[in-house]
Structure formats: C-alpha cells, structure tokens
Structure 1
Amino acid sequence: MKNFPLLLALLLTTPLSGFAQQTAAPLQRTIPSVTRTVQIFSTLENELNDAVQQRNNGVIDKRLADDYELRTAAAPGRPTPRAEWIASALKQAPFASQVQQMAVHEYGNVMIVSFLWSLDVDAASPLAKNIFVVDTWKQVESDWKLATRYVAPADAQQKTVPGVDLSGINTKKKI
C-alpha cells in the first residue's frame, strides 16, 4: 500500500502521454486490403470482359455456365439466355472497362460477386457508363462458371431503394 500513490500516478499519466503522442502524429490513411476471393473473382471477371472484347469464344465458353442467363432491371421478367447474350455482346463495338468496388460473398460452391462496372463509352452510346453488377458464380469441378448476371445502370436518375440512406453520399453527378 506504501507504493499505491506512485502506481496510481504512473497509471494515470501513461494513457495521457500516449494520447498526446497519438494526436500529435499526422493522420495515416488506411488503404483497404483486397481479400483473396476478391483477387480471384476480379481476375475471372476481367478475363471474361477481355474475352468478349477480343472475341475469344473459347474463354467465353469456358467462363459461362451452360444455363447462364442475364437479368436486367429494365426487364426483370425476361432473362437473356446464354446464346443470345453471347451473340449480342459480340455484336457491340469493343470498349474499355474497369471493375471497381467489388465484394465477394462465399456460400460453399457458390460465390455472389457484386461490383461497379465502369465502361469507357461516349455520350452517344446506348450503354450506361456505370453498371451495378451482381454475378452468381458456381464451382463446376475445379473451375468457376458464371451462372447468372443481374445488372442495372448505376447512374440512372440518382434514385434510391427502400432501406438505403444516401444522406452521407454525394449523389450529384460530376461533370
């Protein structure tokens, strides 16, 4: 008990000196790390996108499941089957694109992959510049096949959906 005041003083000053050091140091920016599954599915998504742009039917066939279908927000009750999607995709003029803001959710041999797909297209193009994509990938033997793709323009009218609070997000378009 004789050393109690000394111990109490030491305990009280240690956190304060640590706090002073933390606030005096410059703020460090945290860069999020990419998970292993995001790396894997970024590679697969880009491989498929590149195959379409390069008209590489072998890779397209390898990456799409036999029962692949595309579903759009514009026509949710009318899926586009695999053969029709391939024919339509190969008719379009090639364009550069970028996969961003990817998230991957694992459910055994099924992966749900969502991302923002930014297309480098001019204003006259009928294609949206930014598309929100949700892909369902399934494992077939030791490989991954894209089974279903759900898409919607991400920059259409800047509207929201129930359950989303956009108050902290800048929703104005950049010029």
Structure 2
Amino acid sequence: MRATLLFLLACLSLPAPALAQTVAPDGRGLGTPVLTLYMKVIGGLEQQLARADAGGDAAVLDRLLSPFFELRRPHQETLAREAWMAASRARMPHPEPAMMSELSVYEVGAEAIAYFMLRDADGRTRSVVDVWVRAENDWQLRVRFEQSLTAP
C-alpha cells in the first residue's frame, strides 16, 4: 500500500507532458519512453563525434568511425574516412562543435539509424542521417548522409 501511494505521488509530481509519455495511445498500460537507451547511447556518441571532428581528435575519430566509413552528400559527392579525418585535422583554428537538435534514433536489427539537425557556429544548418553499426562491444559510424539546408 505504501509503495502504491509513493508511486502515485511520484506520478502526480511529474509535469503533464512527462506523465503523458508514459501512457500508451490507447490508454492501456505503459508506452515506450521517449528517451530510449538507443537515444542516450547514440546521442552521446554523436556528441563525442562532433567534438572530435571540431577538435581534430584523430584518436576519437579512429575509434568512432568504421574502417569503411563514408560521408555522402547530394550530387554523388562522397568523402572517405581518411579524407574526412584529414579535413578535421586541417581545420585551424578549430571551430566550436556543431549543435545537434531534433535527434531521433531507430533500431534496425544490429544497426542504429540516427536522424538530426546540425547547426554550425556560422549558422549553417545540415540535415544528417547516420548509420551506426555494432563493432564487438562498441558502436561505429558506418555512413553519414548529409544535406545542407542553408545556402553556402
């Protein structure tokens, strides 16, 4: 009885949107939490990647990028892993990491698909879809699809 009362008090102390997220659309039982484990893990990896890219941190990039990584942009533009790492190291002075927003992560078998927006310090905005694959116990970025949403 005491545990039930504590649970109800905890639910009542939640803001209305947070409480609504715990109820399934049909009103029966609990739904899937909005912040999933995949969002937490992949979101953290995306932030590490953004910091490493901005700072030219080759060790972190080497750990996070699959050996077969490639960046794909419109008009058949493809950048291989080594070229992306070299471009990251060559940027001087190192810019602030891009700000990530609107992250969504989907599990597809042994892969995780992340969709989000990146806004650079200069205001450029990009739409990004990343495909992360399991590499033993870690995740590595296999391919990034990137589309600029602002004029160059």
TM range (shorter): 0.7 to 0.9
Match of 1:130 in 2: 125
Residues 90 and 29 of structure 1: CA distance in aligned 2, closer, same or farther (over 3 Å): farther
* Structure-1 separation of matches of 2:57 and 2:78: 23
Distance 1:153 1:62 in 2: 26
Distance in structure 2 (CA, Å) of the matches to 1:150 and 1:89: 17
Q: 1:134-153 CA distances to partner (integer Å, 9 max, x unpaired)?
A: 00000010100000000001
Q: Describe how 1:90-129 pairs up with structure 2 within 5 A.
A: 90-93=89-92, 94-96=94-96, 97-121=98-122, 129=124
CA contact (8 A) 1:42 1:99 kept: no
Structure 1: which 5+ residue stretches go unaligned?
1-27, 122-127, 158-175
CA RMSD of aligned residues (A): 2.0
The question of whether the paired residues in 1 share the 8 Å contact of 2:70 and 2:142 is answered with yes
CA distance in 2, matches of 1:113, 1:39: 11
Q: Distance in 2 between matches of 1:62 and 1:35?
A: 24
* SS at 1:30 equivalent: helix
Unpaired runs of 5+ in structure 2?
A: 1-14, 22-33
- Give the drift of 1:118: 1.1
Figure out how many residues of one structure are paired with residues of the other and give that number: 122
Question: Displacement of 1:79 after TM fit?
Answer: 1.4
Checking the alignment, whether the CA contact within 8 Å between 1:119 and 1:129 is kept in structure 2 is yes
Secondary structure at the aligned position of 1:133 is classed as strand
Distance 1:130 1:78, change over 3 A: closer
**Which amino acid in the other structure matches residue 30 of structure 1?**
P
- Inter-partner Cα distance in structure 1 for 2:113 and 2:53: 21
Q: Does 1:141 align with 2:128?
A: no
Distance in 1 between residues matched to 2:65 and 2:72, nearest whole Å: 14
**Which stretch of the first structure deviates more once superposed, 134-143 or 46-55?**
46-55
Q: Deviations over 1:119-162 (max 9, x none)?
A: 112xxxxxx611000000000101000000000012359xxxxx
Distance 2:99 2:77 in 1: 27
User: In 2, distance between residues paired with 1:29 and 1:149?
Assistant: 36
Segments of 4+ moved more than 6 angstroms: none
Q: Distance in 2 between matches of 1:60 and 1:144?
A: 12
Partner of 2:87: 88
Deviation at 1:102, TM superposition (A): 0.5
TM-score of the superposed pair, with normalisation by structure 2: 0.72
User: Which residue does 1:30 correspond to in 2?
Assistant: 17
Checking the alignment, whether the CA contact within 8 Å between 1:38 and 1:104 is kept in structure 2 is yes
Cα-to-partner distance string for 1:49-108 (whole Å, 9 max, x where unaligned) = 1112222211110000001000002x3x23111111111222224222211101111012
Deviation at 1:29, TM superposition (A): 6.2
